[in-house]
Amino acid sequence: MIFDFVHRSLRSPSVLVPVEELIANSLGSRMPDARAEALTDAIARRVVDACAFSALAIDGGDEHMTLSLDYGSCTGCGECIAAGEGAFHLANIVPCGVSRQALIRRWDVALGIDVTADEAAVNATANEIRSIVGGALNIRQVDGGSCNGCEAEIAALSNPYYDLERFGIHFVASPKHADMLLVTGPITRNMAEAVKRTYEATPAPKLVVAVGVCGCSGGIFAGTPEVLGGVDSVIHVDAYIPGCPPTPAMLLTGILHALRRQKPKVL
């Protein structure tokens, strides 16, 4: 029986996703996006009222209204899509940034245009990733208080579909062997010291990537007594990956952003 299984596995077609389809792809993340030309003042107010986590906000007055969406606080609940009368839809691309501000999109409601450039729209190739990594990148994943949703997506990076190791990127057990820390969850009071010690044990130069809405801002747990906030409330952060949870493609995109920022140090 086991030989039949092996035989069928060897005969099955390859399902390895091409790198061109991985980078900047957020399909499946449930994150929203807006059609700027379909936005109206009434729709903007409606979606802001529908957002339970204040990820959507209105800037300016009635004369020149701007709608902003903070992906670092968005859980992908879909309420804005339901209330948006077609102006909101599931995003194909979600920005992953080297700063907290890079996670914020803005639309000019009066002019019907996207005010912010899409930082995540990169056209990277496997060769570019390998050149940035410099042959190998060792990552230590750290759980600061996660629900383990992000961990499930991180684990998927190593499966045959995404195969992170084809880029020379590996997960390691000890921070002493790591070049990068991938930190998930809001930082709870009980885990804050462990996160700090892991950061201190990682040799310089090192990169820190905050993963998921909880890692970016504290998510739905922000402001609760046992949570200090996002990862940057405890240690320095070099890049942010939004999502609840982010997809493996979004994780790879965020890692690439961090490497691009620190390329001279990583190589």
- Strands 88-90 and 32-34, by their bridges, are antiparallel
Average of pLDDT values for 41-51?
96
Mean predicted lDDT score pLDDT of the chain: 86
Q: What is the pLDDT of residues 118-174, one digit of tens each?
A: 444 444 445 656 566 566 789 999 999 999 999 999 999 988 888 888 888 899 999
3-state secondary structure of 30: coil
* Whole-number Å distance between alpha carbons of 75 and 235: 23
Both tokens of 155, joined, read 């684990």
Q: DSSP string covering 234-257, please? A: TS--SEEE--SSPPHHHHHHHHHH
What are the boundaries of each domain within the chain?
A: 32-114, 126-266
Interval 75-99 mean pLDDT: 91
Strand partners, 70: 104
- Least confident among 120-124, 202-206, 251-255: 120-124
pLDDT at site 64? 80
Q: How confident is the model at residue 43 (pLDDT cuts 50, 70, 90)?
A: very high
205-214, 222-231, 256-265: lowest mean pLDDT where? 256-265
Report CA dihedral (5, 8, 10, 11) to the nearest 10 degrees. 180
- The answer to whether residue 79 scores a pLDDT higher than 70 is yes
pLDDT score of 101 more than 50: yes
Q: What percent of the chain has pLDDT over 90?
A: 61
Residue 225 exposure: Cα atoms within 13 Å on the Cβ side: 0
Mean of pLDDT values over 54-82: 90
Query: What is the rounded distance in angstroms from the CA atom of residue 31 to the CA atom of residue 111?
Result: 24
- pLDDT on residue 267: 37
pTM for the model: 0.84
Structure tokens at 62: 């009635």
Full 3-state SS string of 213-235: HHHHHCHHHCCCCCEEECHHHCC
- Mean pLDDT, residues 172-201 taken together: 96
Confidence band, pLDDT 50/70/90 cuts, at residue 18? confident
At residue 57 the predicted structure's pLDDT band, cuts being 50, 70 and 90, is: very high
Cβ atoms of 58 and 65 within 8 Å: the answer is yes
Whole-angstrom distance, CA of residue 172 vs CA of residue 266: 17
What residues form DSSP beta bridges with 210?
Answer: 183, 240
Task: Please determine, for residue 242, whether its predicted confidence score (pLDDT) is greater than 70.
Answer: yes
What whole-number distance in Å separates Cα of residue 216 and Cα of residue 209?
9
CATH class of 126-266: alpha beta
Q: How far apart are CA 232 and CA 164, in angstroms?
A: 26
Tell me which of 253 and 46 has the higher pLDDT: 46
State the pLDDT at residue 25. Answer: 81
In degrees rounded to 5, what are phi and psi of residue 31? -70, 145
